[in-house]
Structure 1
Amino acid sequence: MKIAVLGASGLVGRTMLDVLSSCPWVDEPPRLLVSERSAGRRLAFRDRELVCEEVSDKALADLDVLLCSAGRVAAARWAPVAAQAGALVVDNSSCFRMDPDVPLVVPEVNPCPAWAPGSGGRLIANPNCSTIQIAAFAAVLQETCGLDELHAVTLQAVSGAGQRALDAWRDQRTGRDGAGAEVFPRPIVDNVLPAIGPAQRDGSFEEEAKVVRELRRILGRSDDLRVSCTAVRVPVHTGHCAALRCLLPQPVDRQRILKALAARPHMVPAPDAHAFTTPREIQGSRDVHVGRLRVDPGNPHALLAWVVADNLLKGAAWNAVQIVESCLGVGPTGAAG
């Protein structure tokens, strides 16, 4: 199978490469496609080094699968080219997420129909990193007991903003003056920043708006599902957290919800209401971890939860590979489907 990663030299692109290296169904090395600036760079894959090459129409002409993590501008230019050439394309940028003709997929929630090489190209959007873990949890509630409202405060790791952000964070930690001004609105070291992305007219920031609109789309809902989000960047390397308050149409049955969560693939609920996991503990995990699951003392219809996931894996690279597995019917995701 001919696979390529566009944006292979980036933080998520390299993580995609690591995930692919662990997949038995990947039977030949993927092509590594990058910008002209990164062409020639060497990256490890299994027991060899692969050379990055500049993306072009020719490089996309004969692919079966393209994983794209090169940003919105590159996705708009190249993802349709690969799909029109017949490839299954999974794009990690925000470019196509709200396009009604492009599925927005979390495989445990809304898997795509089967696809095979040679059956015509297909373009699928990978959701926002924090949205994925929230949607995985919220879908269980919706299916088990219904869901009227979801209110989130996300605590998002620096790696969610990419390699430049990680480099700026490290520079700030060493005391370099002015480091990261182009990435963070204020210093991130020993600080938290409730501002991710451009400001929106309604008082929110872009990251918060993404969570609201993408969550509704993944769950097949509209504004009948009331959603709010405050997104906060925190000085943690990897691992996004979400403190959630979910309003249900019936009194919370905690044991029923725990049972439903435990039955879900790649969902790890903590039975004890005081138990939780942290970003440090789940780095490298492909699962969504749920803790502090409890009834709001002030409202028997409200459920409180703490949801944690590795933003580079379940929030990006692993979810993208899961989409491919689901479509192709290969690997653990394809077998589960």
Structure 2
Amino acid sequence: MFNIAIIGATGLIGRSIIDVLHERAFPIKNLYLLSRVEQEISFKDEVLKCTKLEDFDFKSVDIIFNATDKDVLMKYIGEITESGAFLIDKSEALRMDKDIPLIVPEVNSDQLDSYITNNKIISSPNCVAIPMSIIIRTLSHKTAIEQIFMTTFQSVSGAGNNGTKALLDETKKSFMASSVNATNFEKSIAFDILPKIGSFNSDFTTSEELKIKQEMQKILNNKLNICVTCTRVPVLKGHGVDLHIPCKFKDRNDAIKALKSSDVIHVCDRDDAYITQKESIGEDKISISRVRYIDGILSMWIAYDNVRFGGSVNGVKIAEAITKSL
């Protein structure tokens, strides 16, 4: 049994971690929910109290999940490191640190096994990098992959509670006014698609696009050429990705067979069926539909729960791997 703390327990990822720990029957002795202010959150039929982060003694726990932003984490990283507890960090703070592993258990769990005997900080990747790395690794067992092209359709929940609130508020206001001011994103998200996530780089890519590229290369341990355009869409939850891969398969069925070899990939291979972002909510698998293999290009539509599969589930799987190694 393990003592667990969740930093940012009131956020979307934090609440989802609580759900996933419960659903997967993680061996918890004590669960400490941490936030910047004292408050209560509902869980199942219970009301759970949160402890103020600044008052918490990290030496009292074995595993810490960070589900808040990098600025909050870095304020307490010294205390966390000195505590001796394992830290599973969902923020971007340490992902590209060469001394800290960026782990997707289905892809590179071997790095975790060799790391945790001497070090106790593990990063969990971006919500797009997780499923895309799994897909590329799964396919690479059957074909060489040197380059991929993708466009993401990222829901507002990827921007946290403020993102979901912005979509709901702006949608409501749009029925009562001819124009609506943006409340969280650079432009109003209601009934529109924003073709920019993060800040622009000097080469006109965005910070989100660079993040996905660099993280996938680190996870897969290769210099895969990744061309990605990230968009924010007026969807509350669930991300979508349009993916195209130059590769060699005998035919479409051969590619589908390769995809199905992963336990966490569900392929909807009926010719007349597809899976939407909304339909992927609550699932702990990557849903793939509209698979085509034409002129040496494998194309597919991908939908998944960005909060669960792209967030909390990966973190809990890392924690499970840690407990098995102790």
Q: Same fold (TM over 0.5)?
A: yes
Provide the rounded CA distance (Å) in 1 between the counterparts of 2:149 and 2:190. Answer: 27
- Distance in structure 1 (CA, Å) of the matches to 2:28 and 2:75: 28
TM-aligned CA distance change 1:79 to 1:274, over 3 Å: farther
Q: For 2:115 and 2:146, how far apart are their aligned partners in 1?
A: 38
Other structure's SS at 1:33 match: strand
Distance change >3 Å, CA 274–CA 245, structure 1 → 2: farther
Q: Could you tell me whether the CA contact under 8 Å between 2:150 and 2:227 is conserved in 1?
A: yes
AA partner of residue 245 (structure 1): H
Gaps of 5+ in 1: none
Find the counterpart in structure 2 of residue 163 from structure 1.
161
Change (3 A) 1:200 1:74: same
Which of 287, 310, 315 is the matching residue for 2:310? Answer: 315
Amino acid corresponding to residue 27 of structure 2 in structure 1: V
Aligned residue identity for 2:58: L
The Cα shift of 1:200 comes to 1.1
Spell out the pairing of 1:55-66 with structure 2 (5 A cutoff).
55-56=53-54, 58-66=56-64
The alpha-carbon deviation at position 328 of structure 1 amounts to: 1.9
Amino acid of the residue matched to residue 189 of structure 1?
A: A
The answer as to 2:319 corresponding to 1:324 is yes
Deviations 1:262-320 (A, max 9, x none): 22122101223553210111111111111111113xx32x2111111100001111111
Is contact 1:115-1:327 (8 Å) kept? no
Aligned residues of 1:21 and 1:45 also touching (Cα < 8 A): no
Following superposition of structure 1 onto structure 2, how do residues 122-141 of structure 1 map, counting pairs within 5 Å? Answer: 122-141=120-139
**Paired position in structure 2 for 1:276:** 274
| Residue 90 of structure 1, aligned match among 88, 91, 100 | 88
In structure 1, what residue type is equivalent to 2:159?
Answer: A
8 Å contact from structure 1 (residues 68, 79) kept in 2: no
Q: Which residue of 1 aligns with 2:24?
A: 23
Partner of 1:221: 222
Q: Answer yes or no: is the 8 Å Cα contact 1:87–1:121 preserved in 2.
A: no
Counterparts of 1:164 and 1:183 in 2: how far apart (Å)?
7
- TM-superposition CA deviations, 1:45-68 (whole Å, max 9, x none): 455322111124752112111110
Taking the aligned partners of 1:262 and 1:327, their CA distance within structure 2 comes to 27
Question: Normalization by structure 2: what TM-score?
Answer: 0.91
CA contact (8 A) 2:167 2:236 kept: no
1:102 aligned residue? 100
Contact 1:268 1:287 in 2 (8 A): yes
CA contact (8 A) 1:90 1:124 kept: yes
Within a 5 Å distance, the mapping from 1:106-121 to structure 2 comes to 106-111=104-109, 112-114=111-113
Question: Which residue type is aligned with residue 103 of structure 2?
Answer: V
AA partner of residue 210 (structure 1): K
Query: How many pairs are equivalent?
Result: 321
Pair 245,116 (structure 1): closer, same or farther in 2 beyond 3 Å: closer
In 2, Cα distance between equivalents of 1:275 and 1:43 = 39
Q: Contact conserved, 1:86 with 1:120, CA < 8 A, in 2? A: no
146-155 vs 16-25, which moves further: 16-25
In structure 2, what is the Cα distance between the partners aligned to 1:269 and 1:149?
A: 22
Structural mapping, 1:149-298, within 5 Å: 149-175=147-173, 181-222=182-223, 225-248=224-247, 250-251=248-249, 253-272=251-270, 274-296=272-294
> d(CA) in 2 for partners of 1:168 and 1:281?
22
Structure 1 residue identity aligned to 2:245: C
Corresponding letter in the other structure for 1:217: K
Taking only the aligned residue pairs, the percentage that are identical comes to 29
Contact 1:165–1:180, Cα closer than 8 Å, also in 2: no
Rounded to whole Å, the distance in 1 between the matches of 2:41 and 2:30 is 11
Contact 1:293/1:306 (<8 A) preserved: yes
| CA apart distance, 1:120 | 5.9
User: Aligned in 2, Cα 1:100/1:116: closer, same or farther, shift over 3 Å?
Assistant: closer
Higher helix share: 2
TM-score scaled by length of structure 1: 0.88
1-structure distance, mates of 2:170, 2:324: 45
Once the two structures are superposed, residues 178-197 of structure 1 have per-residue CA deviations (whole angstroms, 9 ceiling, x without a partner) of 87735212111110000111
Partner of 1:144, secondary structure, is coil
1:138 aligned partner, one-letter code:
I
